[in-house]
Amino acid sequence: MTHPTNLPADFNVEEWHLVASALDVELDMMAEVLRAVVYGGAGVSYFTPFSLGEARAFWVEKVLPVMRAGTRRVLVSRVNDRIVGTVQLSVDTPPNQRHRAEVVKLLVHPDARRRGIARALMIALEDLARNEGRTLLTLDTVTGSSAEDLYTSLGYRTAGVIPRYARGALTPELEDATFMYKELS
């Protein structure tokens, strides 16, 4: 697997742990990343206009409960202690599918893109999945996006495309979604 070579020297990827003393500040950083990604046009379930309050509510209402339940693992990337990217591993699967997990919400702040951060997050996520005993990862992404190209370069294969799957972030037009998978060795 190709490892990123152009990462900033002060860059790291770590699992996001909910530390009460830092939670408010970190939620603000996570909200800023999500909002910036939406305004950058990424198809990540939301569309403009999209406020910081709505972005923060996503983390508080949708992500924190499943993290606390143990069915979602969240990785963050930091540069100078500032969160610039994140990705989630959903391990909430039925009993007959404990071998797989879903990649959710790969987000990199537009100001931090093209430095290998998304690739580093995905490599770390795959390691986390292996450590969880998961051997199959699935995901969906906007067809034709740079994210699709990244996933393909990491060895993900296309299972299929669903036309007009979701509204675009910057336009009311419906975009196709590509569903992908990777078998981990």
More confident residue, 6 or 82: 82
pLDDT above 90 covers a percentage of the chain that reads 94
Instruction: Return the number of other C-beta atoms located less than 10 Å from residue 24's C-beta.
Output: 9
The string of pLDDT tens digits covering residues 150-161 is 999 999 999 999
pLDDT, averaged across the chain: 95
> pLDDT grade, residue 1 (50/70/90)?
very low
**Contact yes or no for 18/59 (Cβ under 8 A):** no
Please give the distance of CA 171 from its chain centroid, rounded to a whole number.
Answer: 22
pLDDT of residue 185: 86
Q: Yes or no: say if 145 and 158 are a contact pair by the CB < 8 Å rule.
A: no
Can you say whether residue 182 is alpha, beta or left, with left for phi > 0 and alpha for psi between -120 and 50 degrees?
beta
Q: Residue 79 pairs with which residues in a beta bridge?
A: 11, 82
Pairing of strands 136-142, 100-108: parallel
According to DSSP, residue 5 is labeled S
Contact 143, 128 (CB under 8 A): no
pLDDT in tens, 78-126: 999 999 999 999 999 999 999 999 999 999 999 999 999 999 999 999 9
**Encoded tokens for 174:** 């419906």
The pLDDT score that the predictor gives to residue 7 is: 76
- Domains, the chain, with CATH or none: 11-133 (3.40.630.30)
| Integer Rg of the chain from CA | 16
Say what the pTM is. Answer: 0.94
Contacts of 63 (CB under 8 A, 6+ apart): 72, 74, 88
Kindly tell me if the per-residue pLDDT of 30 is higher than 90.
Answer: yes
